[in-house]
Amino acid sequence: MNGYNFTERVRKVLQLAREEAFALQHEYVGTEHILLGLCAEGGGVADAALVNLDVDNGSVREQVLKLVRPGKDDAAAAAAPASGGILGAIAGSMGLTRQQRDLPYTSRAKRVLELAMSEARELRHSYVGTEHLLLGLMREEKGIAAQVLTSKGLTVTGVRDEVVRLLGTEMPSTAASQSPPGPRLSREERQASITLVVEHPDGRVEAKKFGRANDAVRYLNALEY
């Protein structure tokens, strides 16, 4: 069974994404803000992958800012509906203000997180890191982030291959063909293949098990913060 947790770098990226949205006076956090946060955070496997693929963080940021326009002066200050869910839980654990936590994420931004979790699962990683977040941004093809990264010559396959190379691991399909089969899992164990660890704003820590990433996201999106 795999336990999925978000690394400190990913938490920082999501915090920076909110700050980028506020700086641009936007009433939401979209894929473009997550990409800006990823570029601003620096370091980590995602940053190394971009460098090795000849993509400069500065040029990515510049192109994003060419595509998006700042909102109205009072847009970011307006009261927004509670975003809740997995992103709200992460925001609460980072000590963000209620106003910052209430800044809602777009459906595509939420989808990026789900895809990042899916990438971690497919690579058999027990965490969600910046590399998975980068792949999630790439796979949400209609988002501004993917459009910018694709314009830089990046592809999902190319980024994934570089991530695997940096981590020094084989793709699961290759590794599986060279390894003896593992123990047979019961139906219950197969269904409980994902464990999400969530830190609530009041300090409580909750671990929930799910069979699929989208089930986990659906559960956390139903939480209220």
Query: Looking at residue 177, what is its pLDDT?
Result: 33
- When pLDDT is cut at 50, 70 and 90, the band that residue 215 belongs to is low
The whole-angstrom separation of Cα 184 and Cα 176 is 14
What confidence tens digit (pLDDT) does each residue in 35-62 have?
A: 999 999 988 899 999 999 999 999 999 9
Instruction: Give the global pTM.
Output: 0.66
- CATH code: domain 2-221 is 1.10.1780.10
Percent of the chain with pLDDT over 70: 60
What confidence tens digit (pLDDT) does each residue in 64-83 have?
A: 999 998 887 554 444 344 44
Domain spans in the chain, listed from the N-terminal domain onward: 2-221
Please provide residue 192's backbone torsions phi and psi, each rounded to the nearest 5 degrees.
Answer: -100, 50
